[in-house]
Amino acid sequence: MLTPLLKRIESFGPLQPDEKDAVANVVSRVVNFAAREDIIHEGDRASDCTLILEGYAFRFNHLPDGRRQITALHIPGDFADLQGVLLNSITDGLGTFTPCKVAFVPHTALREITKQHPYLARVLWTITLIDGAIQRQWITALGRLSARERVAHQPCELFVRLKAAGRVEDDSCELPITQEEMGDAFGASGVHINRTLQALRSSALIELRGKRLTVLDWERLSNLAQFSPDYLHLGQRVARD
Amino acid sequence: MLTPLLKRIESFGPLQPDEKDAVANVVSRVVNFAAREDIIHEGDRASDCTLILEGYAFRFNHLPDGRRQITALHIPGDFADLQGVLLNSITDGLGTFTPCKVAFVPHTALREITKQHPYLARVLWTITLIDGAIQRQWITALGRLSARERVAHQPCELFVRLKAAGRVEDDSCELPITQEEMGDAFGASGVHINRTLQALRSSALIELRGKRLTVLDWERLSNLAQFSPDYLHLGQRVARD
DNA sequence: CGCTGTCTTGAAAGGACTCAACGCCGGTGG
DNA sequence: CCACCGGCGTTGAGTCCTTTCAAGACAGCG
């Protein structure tokens, strides 16, 4: 089960035979997690990286007093915690929204690969750089957008990412997140998320039925959210020279 | 003038002779910027990385409607925009608070170095990972802390970073930022920053005189801010194996 | 069928923003 | 040397946004 790792890495550009071999030979374990389960606890010293194969996951931070902030949403194909490869301590946790199938790739294996194959090191670094760009956009959204704009923004981002992953059909995608969880992600209370979603629905911007989100008016939605997909760096290639 | 680059990289661990040579041979230009000047504009396609040698700088994002969010503060010794080395487009800008002396290191040189020296690639990747950890903490602060807690949090972070850089004396450090700018950084209006700072001062937590910040009661300040320095990964070393 | 978690709604309180005005200070030019 | 100017910090009042608390409706599941 290493095809996913290979696929993810090759999305940044074709590999040479020896690089391909190296990636293919990385031993990884595939593990299943239930919904609402922690994959990594804050403060853990993990020995493996997590590649999401199936399901929705999220990174989070707890404040000492218990408040929680979700700092990233992860969809299939995402490397969720490359930090551990080089950093001694992990300062945030990783949890699941839905049942998830994840591949654990040992840090030692990734370190070895990057030592032997500079190009592969670049790919992983690039993933981290893109993660950073997305995080800065979240900072901007949290700091400068109103709750209504924020609640519009994150679906925009998720929608584009899912589309790139081929997981959008008829302008609709899965959104298996409770309103309380959205609150933790978008920096608002659950109750306020509820009211805000209602406003977006009654403006005919989105539809939310069961766990499915349908974008009814992309133009007005992305406008309201001041969303532009540049920061996602979709289609980014990694240079060899 | 490449000592700073060498110094920064060696802070993660000693270099081998050939690595040292490689870093030493990187040609970099040193350029001076005035206060409140843009070093990199959003959307630029820069050809060099920026290493801050002297002065305070910040990364920022503008929303289409003009609102601005500051996404990171940079102090001497910081690499401010490693993104450009591998990403095609730069989605945020870099500006100065004070007059700044910066070293521009060509992307091509950094790419070459990382191709030849896997360990150096790791160091740069590590810097990016730490940046990411700091950004996630900002996300948490913006999403879950009240304005008062946030206004306490950022000085905590800055203070610890400056201390690590040897720029704190008698519990006080430079803070050459207007209240309006703090607003853009902490996700609040300038007026509210003013009132909040007054509250912190009248609680005898901090003192703010001219452009100098003095921490009067670290215990209570960091407590209020729910601050813990783990996420800064100070003293992080980079493994060779 | 009953339970539990989630969504929904209302009312009241608190936090943060905007607008506008004023004082202070350093810098500039006369 | 003084008057003026502009940027920054400070204040007040009113409004809007968001939260909290609490209760009820709803739906999925055992």
pLDDT of residue B3 exceeding 80, the answer is no
Kindly state whether A67 is in contact with chain B, defined as any CB-CB distance less than 8 angstroms.
Answer: yes
For residue B209, what pLDDT is reported?
87
Chain A residues touching residue B129 (CB < 8 angstroms) = 82-83, 86-87, 128
Burial class (CB in 10 A: 0-12, 13-18, 19+), B126: buried
Which range (A42-51, A126-135, B131-140) has the least confidence? Answer: A42-51
For residue B1, what pLDDT is reported?
55
Share of chain A above pLDDT 90, in %: 89
Chain A residues touching residue B183 (CB < 8 angstroms) = none
List the single protein residue with the shortest CA to C1' distance from C17: B189
pLDDT digits 0-9 by tens, B188-241? 999 999 999 999 999 999 999 889 999 999 999 999 999 999 999 999 999 998
Confidence of residue A1 (pLDDT cuts 50, 70, 90): low
Average pLDDT estimate for A95-113 = 95
- For Cα atoms B234, B236, B241, give the angle at the middle one, nearest 5 degrees: 175
- Per-residue tokens: A23: 């990636």
A122, A241 Cβ separation under 8 angstroms: no
For residue A2, what pLDDT is reported?
56
pLDDT of residue A3 exceeding 80, the answer is no
Kindly state whether B65 is in contact with chain A, defined as any CB-CB distance less than 8 angstroms.
Answer: yes
- For Cα atoms A69, A219, A174, give the angle at the middle one, nearest 5 degrees: 45
Q: What are the strands of the beta sheet with A206-209, ordered from one edge?
A: A172-174, A212-215, A206-209
For residue B44, what pLDDT is reported?
83
Q: Would you tell me how many other CB atoms lie within 10 Å of the CB of residue B28? A: 19
Q: Where are the beta strands (DSSP E) in A113-217?
A: 172-174, 206-209, 212-215
A126: nearest Cα among A236, A213, A47, A42: A236
Under DSSP, is residue A47 helix (H, G, I), strand (E, B) or coil? coil
Percent helix, percent strand, percent coil in chain B, to nearest 5:
45, 20, 35
Q: Would you tell me how many other CB atoms lie within 10 Å of the CB of residue A178? A: 13
CB contact under 8 A, A239 and B133: no
- Per-residue tokens: B240: 């060779």
Q: How far is B118 from chain A (nearest CA, A)?
A: 5
Q: Which nucleotide is nearest to B195 (CA to C1')?
A: D10
Containing B221, the helix (H) or strand (E) segment is helix B218-224
Tokens 């990972």, located at residue: B129
pTM: 0.96
Sign of CA dihedral B126, B131, B134, B140: negative
**Cα A199 from chain centroid?**
26
Sign of CA dihedral A179, A185, A188, A189: positive
Separation CA B28–CA B8 (nearest Å): 14
For residue A76, what pLDDT is reported?
93
For residue A44, what pLDDT is reported?
83
B52, B74 Cβ separation under 8 angstroms: yes
Separation CA B216–CA B122 (nearest Å): 39
Is strand D within 7 Å of residue A147 (CB)? yes
Separation CA A232–CA B5 (nearest Å): 29
Separation CA B192–CA B98 (nearest Å): 23
Under DSSP, is residue B25 helix (H, G, I), strand (E, B) or coil? coil
Is strand D within 7 Å of residue A178 (CB)? no
Alpha helices in B100-170 (DSSP H): 107-116, 118-144, 147-164
Average pLDDT estimate for A160-187 = 94
Kindly state whether B41 is in contact with chain A, defined as any CB-CB distance less than 8 angstroms.
Answer: no
What residue type is assigned to position A133 of the chain? Answer: A
pLDDT of residue A33 exceeding 70, the answer is yes
A7: nearest Cα among A169, A135, A123: A123
Confidence of residue B5 (pLDDT cuts 50, 70, 90): confident
Is strand C within 7 Å of residue B188 (CB)? yes
A 115-174: CB under 8 A from B: 115-116, 118, 121-122, 124-126, 128-133, 135-140, 142-145
Separation CA B26–CA B221 (nearest Å): 42
Range 147-206, chain B: CB under 7 Å to any strand D atom: 178-180, 190-191, 194-195, 197-198
Separation CA A132–CA A62 (nearest Å): 20
Is strand C within 7 Å of residue B187 (CB)? yes
pLDDT digits 0-9 by tens, A206-220? 999 889 999 999 999
For residue A5, what pLDDT is reported?
79
Mean pLDDT of chain A: 94
Q: Would you tell me how many other CB atoms lie within 10 Å of the CB of residue A75? A: 19
Q: Strands B29-33 and B68-74: what pairing?
A: unpaired
pLDDT digits 0-9 by tens, B83-108? 999 999 999 999 999 999 999 999 99
Separation CA A145–CA A156 (nearest Å): 14
Nearest to B122 among A86, A88, A138 (CB): A86
Separation of first and last alpha carbons in chain A: 31
Which range (A24-28, A156-160, B178-182) has the least confidence? Answer: A24-28
Distance A97 CA to C5 C1' (A): 15
